[in-house]
Amino acid sequence: MDYDRITQAFRRLALEAGDRIMEIYEGPDFEVSVKSDSSPVTAADEAADAHISDGLRAAFPDLPLVTEEQADSHDVSAATFLIVDPLDGTKEFINRRGDFTVNIALVEDGVPTRGVVYAPAKGRLFYTLPDGSSVEEMGALHKETVGETVPVRVSEPDNDSLMVVASKSHRDQATDDYIGKYAVRDMTSAGSSLKFCLVATGEADLYPRLGRTMEWDTAAGHAVLSGAGGQVVRFDDLSPLVYGKEGFANPFLIAYAPGVELKPA
């Protein structure tokens, strides 16, 4: 696997897709449609999906590709594939809250090993390097030249004083009840796969998700978190979260810095 090419392509396509998303985000009111699963979709989702899909298929024609906006046509039986959520956090986008991301990942043997998470409205760009470690690129983001990159690393958590991040749009009582099992110093909320990145940078120690997610929602953030020393496990039995499942649906999950003493479900 040519990880140098993958890193360059993921980064460039995410930035280019971000430009297309922001043109619509900063423009006049846009139309919101509803997909068959009752989730919202906008022209920004579709434009970003088309651009990333075309770019990935041209660069890596031998790798199967899964994207959220073309999910109905996917039947990937391979353990290694590309997976994309062109606009994760569509509800945040629609409400102009800024917490939306472009997610592109490589899954190898059921494990997300490389990925990029780009939050264009916030100007934050996280990705894995060719060696698998994770960085945040700082300053102005240029497509052709890479700026200053800062390694990201999970925290060394204090289990008597944890920082927790939870979903902004999908918080519920079950999540609050589970968080209540921990000694929490403070909590923050975020949309989209930014929650994984906050754990990756040490801005949070723990992110429990007791709700529906799909593999394209989590793969890129999972890769970035893994490259920062973090882990993602199933909520029910704390086994590693794997990818390539039938239908691409995830079970409930927990993302965390390894020093966190996980509580049972």
Q: Do the annotations mark residue 211 as ligand-binding?
A: no
Six-digit token string for 12: 């460039």
What Rg, from alpha-carbon coordinates, does the chain have? Answer: 17
Answer whether 253's CB lies under 8 Å from 209's CB: yes
What one-character DSSP code corresponds to residue 72? Answer: G
CA-to-CA distance for 233 and 241, rounded, in angstroms? Answer: 5
Q: Do the annotations mark residue 88 as ligand-binding?
A: yes
- Strand 253-256 vs strand 231-234: parallel, antiparallel, or unpaired? antiparallel
CA torsion, ordered 62, 125, 167, 202, to nearest 10 deg: 110
Q: Do the annotations mark residue 87 as ligand-binding?
A: yes
What one-character DSSP code corresponds to residue 230? Answer: -
Answer whether 217's CB lies under 8 Å from 245's CB: no
**221 to each of 32, 33, 98, 192, 263, how far by Cα in Å?**
26, 26, 17, 9, 22
Q: Do the annotations mark residue 89 as ligand-binding?
A: yes
Q: Do the annotations mark residue 2 as ligand-binding?
A: no
Annotated binding site for Mg(2+): 68, 85, 87-88, 217
Per the annotation, where are the binding residues?
68, 85, 87-90, 217
Residues placed in the known binding site for substrate: 68, 87-90, 217
